[in-house]
Chains A and B, each alone.
Chain A
Amino acid sequence: MPYLGSEETVKELKRALSNPNVQSDRLRYRNVILRVIRFMTQGLDMAPLFMEMVKASATVDIVQKKLVYLFMCSYATLKPDLALLAINTLLKDCADPNPMVRGLALRNMCNLRMPGVSEYIQQPILSGLRDKASYVRRAAVLGCAKMQNLQPDVEIDGAVVNELYGLLRDQDPVVMVNCLRALEEILKKEGGVVINKPIAHHLLNRMKDLDVWGQSEVLTFLLRYRPRCQSELFDILNLLDNFLGSSHSGVVAATTRLFLSLGSALPAVQSGVLERARGPLLAACNAQSRELRFVALCHVQQVLRSLPGHFGAHYKKFFCSYSEPNYIKFRKMEILVELVNDENVGTVLEELRGYCTDVSPELAQAAIFAIGRVGQTYSEKCLSILTGLLELKQEQITSAVVQTFRDLVWLCPQCSESVCASIAGCEEHIQDSEGKQALVWLLGVHGEQIPGSPYVLEEFIDALKTEQSPAVKLELLTATVRLFLSRPAETQDMLGRLLTFCIEEECDMSVRDRALFCYRLLQCGVEEAHRVLGGPKSDPSLGVIAGRPEEPINSWAGDFNTLAPVYSREDWAALTATTGGSPSLIPLVTGGAAQADLGSAEEAEAAGSAAAAAAPAAPSPPGPSEELCLVSGPPLSPELFERRWLALEPSRRVSLDWPGGDCLPETLQAALQLVNIQALALSRPHARPWKAYLYAHSLGTVVLAELLRDTDAGGLQVTLKQDPEREEALSSFLTVLKTVMQTLGNSSASLSSHD
């Protein structure tokens, strides 16, 4: 009943928690708290109980403490004022003689996510860093990272950073790894923790003391270190060689990745590493747990991109087992196709044929497509298998086989004869539209080789009224016209019927248009139609027969052991895309004119046309003097901007006329973006003084600008700074800026006159 009557429950719990009888009985008290946590897990809002729970934190019972801390950490953001009440208890616990209590209190205090807590936790963290128990130090080190995370804008405390670097020498391995993790998060903006030579060597020496999680993470941090000379590089390789044989596949993969990166300039080292990693990788492919198997298979695929023959001798390892989940079977089939060679082709095909009759239709289809891919090299053997599958007379199988035939014929013209001989009778077993399209295409293009082709098409035409898919109709139109060109006598009548139906009765516009197009094409004469439709019947050059170019190992080595190989390419692209965009101090519309409201859209358009007129933007070469060429470049972060701004001397000060009226920040930003000027921060429209910070890339330099408007009457003060100096860029920036301001002024003036 957790979702019903939650108010009742809360009231009841509140009563129980404040009942002195319950409070005096430790077990009963704990049980009530337990119920609170249970409801919290189920998603009920327990925030009203905060006060009572804070009171319960003052106890000697550690289990109860832990539960209450869990509760507080979940709700502290909602009730920051009440959470402050708990701070006292926590601070007291931080000084407890028992290291476990100290650690627990410190960890949870840092977990409270609310503003203002940082001033209380600073001191305990600092003393925690020097605690004699490593349990407390562990919590304190991560506490530093949590504190930074809580207030990302606050300047990094150099003393803490130094302290953490010092703690890398701590004798407790977990404290050491935690230091790395914390430094990485604190220094994120500056590129993370620095791994110099002494640190790298220290880490390498401590590797064997770490637990597997630590090892894996340290190996990833070591990616940042570049050895000075070859002998050092080989020393590192020797030192870490053992970890390729670790029992944790995560460590093995991390080691492999590090080695590949270290050997990025030494192909011999890289291939040696992959050679050594083959055994563990294969073992992981047969691991007990299917998820690990899946991950390992993904990595095998990645290795195969560069070394197609790498697992050739072990192809049997990739045979599917009946009880494996589909996601593993799909990967295994993809790998099998890659591994096919002259010796094993028979066995592999036999195996793949077994999967074609799988219970899961998706898997069966995938198996048939896999055979098709093998068929691009070994067409004869595959064709006989595929033809054999047609005899099963099953819908999905037939459809998939016909689709495979179409692709095969297109890529390997030598197959067309046997394909044409075998597809007779297929039409009875094809129900889905992809299969129909493939069949109709085959009938149209190779109609003269298939004796019954006009009659099969006729059946499709007769059933046209019930056909749902427009794609099939489109294919049917093209195919019938093609067949008409090769076998006019048998096809003429039905072509007429088809065209009449499609032009007069069809509702789908694309089909109707295609029909009209065919009709007019035929009006131009048969020769003309032949010339247009009778293109090549196959294109072997598209095939991947002679093996694709092998990608260099370095193209994927950086992604090894990340999520990139695990996700499909589309997923990965979606995940990594659109992380750019300029960060802003107040929320700005970043999408340009499209999102602005009606009035500003007009303005933006005006600005756009002005910019287009003024700046023949990107393609023009960086010409002399007056050429305007601001280009979009990498975005600057506000911090970087600030640092540069303070460091540079003003190159020029200009005063411009304020165009009049106030313009919305969105409008201004959209307009500026059109001309490749990025707005970093803008004041609100009526603020005085009104300020804006802009930047732009041009001719290899960065121009930074401040717009300042003190009073309503005054003009616009523009201060420009530049790094490195370049006169032309500066003047081009100014010209563009002036144009934008003018255009904005005009449009806003016309708007205000409307009101």
Chain B
Amino acid sequence: MIGGLFIYNHKGEVLISRVYRDDIGRNAVDAFRVNVIHARQQVRSPVTNIARTSFFHVKRSNIWLAAVTKQNVNAAMVFEFLYKMCDVMTAYFGKISEENIKNNFVLIYELLDEILDFGYPQNSETGALKTFITQQGIKSQTKEEQSQITSQVTGQIGWRREGIKYRRNELFLDVLESVNLLMSPQGSQVLSAHVSGRVVMKSYLSGMPECKFGMNDKIVIDKQGKGTADETSKSSGKQSIAIDDCTFHQCVRLSKFDSERSISFIPPDGEYELMRYRTTKDIILPFRVIPLVREVGRTKLEVKVVIKSNFKPSLLAQKIEVRIPTPLNTSGVQVICMKGKAKYKASENAIVWKIKRMAGMKESQISAEIELLPTNDKKKWARPPISMNFEVPFAPSGLKVRYLKVFEPKLNYSDHDVIKWVRYIGRSGIYETRC
């Protein structure tokens, strides 16, 4: 149970404060500001205990969101709630920034009123919330809308209301993955790598459709392989992937997944996250980074970094950014790169190398001479890892969508009439190579 919710800007000014329970006083708002936002040292823990009150905070860009409680609550749940709150706000007005919050101040109070009552979460699905949040809010509503509210909140399926109609039935499916890597120096050994992915769907379907989603999950493919012929299992065996763990939106029938490993569901209307998964085996690492650092005397460093793209030549990676850290006492940098643009950013202590596009199976290289100021500081430079950002049009885990079928027995459209769009995007998560 949550006693109150506060939103602050980076200076610690209160943007939103909503108290749900009597045991949280106005001084709680100040206590958090003084003890956490204005504290001298770094944040020690996302959960802070001040005078027997627990403060859970999350930071989005430079906005602090804090949930306060005096009870012994379930920490994971409170954080999940704060994330959900952020998601809902983002769905309503985009990025969470000071300006957006100030502009949508009424809306946020409205949301807070509906999402929590007496500190208990009530309704947090963006789609369902839309019925209650009335920015134009005029009392006179049509009869139809009124009955909609009633059916919405009494319906058995909490995530979809009845009587949705679209002229064009469309489905958008995005496989969004973020690939994380920690590589040992010289690119020789993968210390850890995992892909965390999400299947995000946007559905604009009429009625109460039943959907079935299939992918190249190893367990399913192997099972089918056994049933039919050996050669199919051999040929498809390579393309199937082993999913370490996966979790689903509440609309997915988990019992069916457990027994048959098939994913079937009645989709919510609009955008939602169907599934989240994680893989650690046979990850396609889109880029390899090979750093070479040589210290020439006490005042000079030579850095050479080679990046190799490791995917089909027909595909293009985008928004590539390599960040090469430089020592604090750098006085000047000369950079030569074959491709893209590179710049030394003194304020960030790094050379930032940007390449707009790069095809697969290519190689590119940057070399830099870093001049150092002589210092009497004996501290050795810690050599932070080289990090990388990129976006590739495939799924680094190897996940493929095999089918997505729609059945709506009551209305007269079939699977073929639905227009379906599938897209794969692989992004870098924490993609680091030590040097």
* Min distance, Cβ B37 to any Cβ of chain A, angstroms: 15
Q: Is A316 within 8 A of B196, CB to CB?
A: no
The residues of A that contact B192 with a CB separation of less than 8 Å are 316-317, 319
* Min distance, Cβ B411 to any Cβ of chain A, angstroms: 25
Complex: how many Å from CA A394 to CA B17? 47
Q: Is B22 within 8 A of A322, CB to CB?
A: no
8 Å CB contacts to B: which residues of A542-586? Answer: 561-564, 566-567, 571, 574-575
Q: Is A394 within 8 A of B378, CB to CB?
A: yes
The residues of A that contact B105 with a CB separation of less than 8 Å are 34, 37-38, 41
The yes or no answer to B248 lying at the interface (CB within 8 A) is: yes
The yes or no answer to B409 lying at the interface (CB within 8 A) is: no
Q: Is A253 within 8 A of B76, CB to CB?
A: yes
The residues of B that contact A254 with a CB separation of less than 8 Å are 74, 77
Q: Is B80 within 8 A of A248, CB to CB?
A: yes
Task: Select from chain A the residue with minimum beta-carbon distance to B274.
Answer: A247
Q: Is A567 within 8 A of B49, CB to CB?
A: yes
The answer to whether residues A213 and B49 also contact, given A322-B387, A326-B42, A357-B380 and a CB cut-off of 8 A, is no
Task: Select from chain A the residue with minimum beta-carbon distance to B276.
Answer: A247
Interface string of B101-134 (1 = CB under 8 A from A): 0000110011001000110111111000000101
Interface residue from B80, B156, B434 paired with A171 (Cβ < 8 Å): B156
Using C-beta atoms within 8 Å of the partner chain, give the interface range for chain A: 35 or more
The residues of A that contact B82 with a CB separation of less than 8 Å are 291
Complex: how many Å from CA A64 to CA B106? 10
* Min distance, Cβ B214 to any Cβ of chain A, angstroms: 19
Q: Is B276 within 8 A of A322, CB to CB?
A: no
Complex: how many Å from CA A188 to CA B158? 30
The residues of B that contact A360 with a CB separation of less than 8 Å are 42
Q: Is B153 within 8 A of A135, CB to CB?
A: yes
The residues of A that contact B125 with a CB separation of less than 8 Å are 211
* Min distance, Cβ B107 to any Cβ of chain A, angstroms: 9
The residues of B that contact A173 with a CB separation of less than 8 Å are 158
8 Å CB contacts to B: which residues of A285-315? Answer: 286-292, 294-296, 298
Interface string of A149-166 (1 = CB under 8 A from B): 100000000000000000
The residues of B that contact A298 with a CB separation of less than 8 Å are 75
Complex: how many Å from CA A100 to CA B74? 31
Q: Is B74 within 8 A of A250, CB to CB?
A: yes
Q: Is B150 within 8 A of A133, CB to CB?
A: yes
Binds B, one of A139-147, A259-267, A494-502: A139-147
Interface string of B45-61 (1 = CB under 8 A from A): 11101001010111000
Q: Is B146 within 8 A of A98, CB to CB?
A: yes
Interface residue from B13, B248, B384 paired with A322 (Cβ < 8 Å): B384
Complex: how many Å from CA A209 to CA B432? 42
The residues of B that contact A325 with a CB separation of less than 8 Å are 42-43
The residues of B that contact A323 with a CB separation of less than 8 Å are 387, 430, 432
The answer to whether residues A133 and B83 also contact, given A98-B146, A242-B254 and a CB cut-off of 8 A, is no
Q: Is A171 within 8 A of B154, CB to CB?
A: yes
The yes or no answer to A392 lying at the interface (CB within 8 A) is: yes
Q: Is B58 within 8 A of A133, CB to CB?
A: no
The yes or no answer to A697 lying at the interface (CB within 8 A) is: no
The yes or no answer to A20 lying at the interface (CB within 8 A) is: no
The yes or no answer to B182 lying at the interface (CB within 8 A) is: yes
Q: Is A245 within 8 A of B245, CB to CB?
A: yes
The yes or no answer to B233 lying at the interface (CB within 8 A) is: no
* Min distance, Cβ B70 to any Cβ of chain A, angstroms: 10
The residues of B that contact A61 with a CB separation of less than 8 Å are 137-139
Q: Is B278 within 8 A of A286, CB to CB?
A: yes
Complex: how many Å from CA A564 to CA B54? 12
**CB within 8 Å of B: which residues of A?**
34, 37-38, 41-43, 60-64, 66-67, 70, 74, 97-101, 107, 113, 132-135, 138-139, 142, 145-146, 149, 171-174, 177-178, 181, 208-209, 211-213, 216-217, 220, 241-242, 245-250, 253-254, 279-280, 283-284, 286-292, 294-296, 298, 316-317, 319, 321-323, 325-327, 354, 357-360, 392-394, 561-564, 566-567, 571, 574-575
Across the A-B interface, give the 5 residue pairs with the lowest CB-CB distance, nearest first: A247-B247, A250-B77, A213-B121, A63-B137, A62-B137
